[in-house]
Structure 1
Amino acid sequence: MVSRDESQDDLMRLLLSVARKDRQAFQLLYGQIAARMFGLCLKLAGQRELAEEALQETFIQIWHHASEYHSDRGTPLGWMMTIARYRTLDLMRSRKVRQAAGDEQLEQLEDHRAGPLDHSLRNAGSAQLTGCLEELSEVQRDSILLSYYRGFTHDELAETLSSPIGTVKSWIRRGLMALKRCLER
């Protein structure tokens, strides 16, 4: 059985090789994490096609930006899973915008103002916020990201996450408090 540290060391070696554009290392990296990453994309997107597209875009981004990884950004797996999470959420947002733009009955324009998470990213530094997000439980992180990036209401989150609304509110509240504490360190 491979220890967690050995697994992270292996991912680090592969990521360093990918940064040097080693295609075989990229293939090995894909084989090690694609299934887990796809699971995250599918859980967030709720649609297989969108999850597959997010996974593909994530690996393209990893191929082009592997040299930008450094340990300040968390573990190699954490860094790559964060890329997958953000790519999925970005695709979900862009699809929502495209669908809304095609609906002739809607007369609203998209609001391009920065949201609270955008302000946090700028003020705290995206690397620090990403690290703090990784410290949250998966349900807290997903609840916060879905509410801020997709604009889900508490009712929509409860339905999407198949959990009672009170539980979802607690996840968000506790997650935001944990993020605040982490960012204040």
Structure 2
Amino acid sequence: MSVTSAADHEQLKQLLLRIAKQDRDAFGELYRRTSARLFGVCARMLSDRREAEEVLQEAYVSIWQRSASFDPARAGAMTWLVALVRNKAIDRLRQHQGAALDHDFDMDSLADDDPTPASKTESGQDYQRLEDCMEQLESQQRRSIRAAFFSGITYGELAERAKVPLGTMKSWIRRGLMQLRTCLEP
């Protein structure tokens, strides 16, 4: 099931809150609803199916153990889940010397289970809206945001590559994210 509507987001939030109380049924339902999308994140970042499966398994163990740290006031459920999985994948990449972190990331390549036609249209519109907003950013901001958030490159590594101070890189990304938020607001 693709998570796109406000009701879907609310259901995921409630599932995470129930998992924090050790509700195994909620955990199973969360896995059913999110595993395809989260596996897509792992697979794209790691480019190795076996590694992606292992990282996904580790991520779900962390979800079970850390669900009490989920704060719906700070992030949406899917945002929290993707961040957790992304961080696990980055940790795995850093364990392997020579693993390329800076490959291009195509948001269209994320695996997702078969969405309904309505949710497919909505998510396609969301993606197009994000791409339109990304195109409004300066090219350096756009590249830096993609590298930091979709390839796992640290701000320090980005600053070194761009030959700018770390503070400058952080400012570029922060301003870019603020522009994106403004652009994406309804």
Matching residue of 2:95: 94
CA distance in 1, matches of 2:94, 2:74: 25
* Counterpart residue type for residue 35 of structure 1: A
CA contact (8 A) 2:19 2:26 kept: yes
Matching residue of 1:41: 42
Unpaired runs of 5+ residues, structure 2, are 100-129, 135-141, 162-169, 181-186
After TM superposition, the structure 1 stretch with the greater mean CA deviation from structure 2, 54-63 or 1-10, is 1-10
Closer, same or farther: CA 59–142 of 1 in aligned 2, 3 Å: farther
Closer, same or farther: CA 176–26 of 1 in aligned 2, 3 Å: same
CA contact (8 A) 2:38 2:85 kept: yes
Q: How does 1:160-175 map to 2 (within 5 A)?
A: 175=173
User: Among the aligned pairs, what percent are the same residue?
Assistant: 26
2:143 is aligned with 1:144: no
* Counterpart residue type for residue 58 of structure 1: A
CA contact (8 A) 2:39 2:52 kept: yes
2:15 is aligned with 1:18: no
* Counterpart residue type for residue 176 of structure 2: A
| Post-superposition offset of 1:12 | 1.0
| Post-superposition offset of 1:93 | 0.4
| Post-superposition offset of 1:176 | 5.4
Say which of 166, 176, 179 aligns to 1:178: 176
Matching residue of 2:5: 4
| Post-superposition offset of 1:96 | 2.3
Cα deviation 1:42-63 (Å, max 9, x = unaligned): 1111111111111111111110
Q: How does 1:73-92 map to 2 (within 5 A)?
A: 73-92=74-93
* Counterpart residue type for residue 148 of structure 1: T
| Post-superposition offset of 1:142 | 4.2
| Post-superposition offset of 1:144 | 1.7
Cα deviation 1:93-127 (Å, max 9, x = unaligned): 01228x9xxxxxxxxxxxxxxxxxxxxxxxxxxxx
> Number of residue pairs matched?
129
Higher relative contact order (CA 8 A, sep 6+): 2
Closer, same or farther: CA 94–3 of 1 in aligned 2, 3 Å: closer
CA contact (8 A) 1:44 1:142 kept: no
Unpaired runs of 5+ residues, structure 1, are 100-134, 155-171
- TM norm structure 1: 0.57
CA distance in 2, matches of 1:48, 1:57: 14
Root-mean-square deviation (Å)? 3.6
* Counterpart residue type for residue 96 of structure 1: Q
* Counterpart residue type for residue 147 of structure 2: S
| Post-superposition offset of 1:173 | 9.6
More helix by share: 1
Q: How does 1:111-126 map to 2 (within 5 A)?
A: none
- TM norm structure 2: 0.57
| Post-superposition offset of 1:73 | 2.6
